[in-house]
Amino acid sequence: PGGHYQFNHSTQELNKIAPYYYWSSSIEYAGNIPYLLSKAIKPSEAPYTLLGATFAQFIRLYSDFRYYHQRRSHTWAFRVSGGFIAAYGNTTVTPYSKQFFIGGSNSLRAFRLRELGPGTYITPTVNNRNYCDQTGDIKLEFNAEYRFNIASYLKGAAFLDAGNIWLLEDTRGPNEEGKFDPSGFYKEIAVGTGIGLRIDFEYFVIRLDGAFPIRKPIKDSGFQWTFKTLNFSNASWRSENVVFHLAIGYPF
């Protein structure tokens, strides 16, 4: 039990090609009223339950700002987004479905869905392309994309994505990685770039993006720029680094 408030604002004008911005922010909270009632009735029995299950108590903040510089033949699109979630009171862990993740077709496209983070942590199953499941309490992300017309309904794009997720209190792995450090988190920002093709019917978009990381975590070495190791002619390198995404709609 809880509440969710979301604010959206856009300066886009319909049927007009002109620069505009879009901003969305939300706050979500849960468990406060059941916690206060339970504490008043049974003050010494925490953590409290509801219908036999321990209920979550947390606050979640998220903000997403986008700017589109539109022209008839091309568009510059930018997005800056970030979020924070923290458990308190009745629980020490936030619900999995409310935690943040990064990577995938609408995020850092040089990484697979939930592959990156938290922080410098590298999951031991990262080479298993079928399953990645990294989540965090804090998320920062930046995206820039240049969209241009090719012919009729066919359009292209070149993009740059950056960001990561972090844990608020916990760590991952034997080296205790992943915790957010206000003084050094910027050193753990991953960066990827790539190109894409889109079939844009205005009301329906089919998108194919190909991307690769230019800054990523290296085992036992932290985050490193990878310009010196780029080797598109090497099949092994392409298998480990180039990621393709087939999706519906634009990423943002």
- Distance, CA of 27 to CA of 3 (rounded, Å): 8
Q: Nearest-CA neighbor of 178 among 161, 191, 163, 165?
A: 165
**pLDDT (0 to 100) of residue 125:** 66
**pLDDT (0 to 100) of residue 171:** 87
**pLDDT (0 to 100) of residue 119:** 94
**pLDDT (0 to 100) of residue 107:** 97
**pLDDT (0 to 100) of residue 126:** 61
Q: What token pair was written down for 221?
A: 């070495």
**pLDDT (0 to 100) of residue 128:** 58
**pLDDT (0 to 100) of residue 174:** 80
Instruction: Show the low-confidence residues of the chain (pLDDT under 50).
Output: none
**pLDDT (0 to 100) of residue 127:** 60
- Cα first-last separation, the chain: 30
Q: What token pair was written down for 154?
A: 């066919």
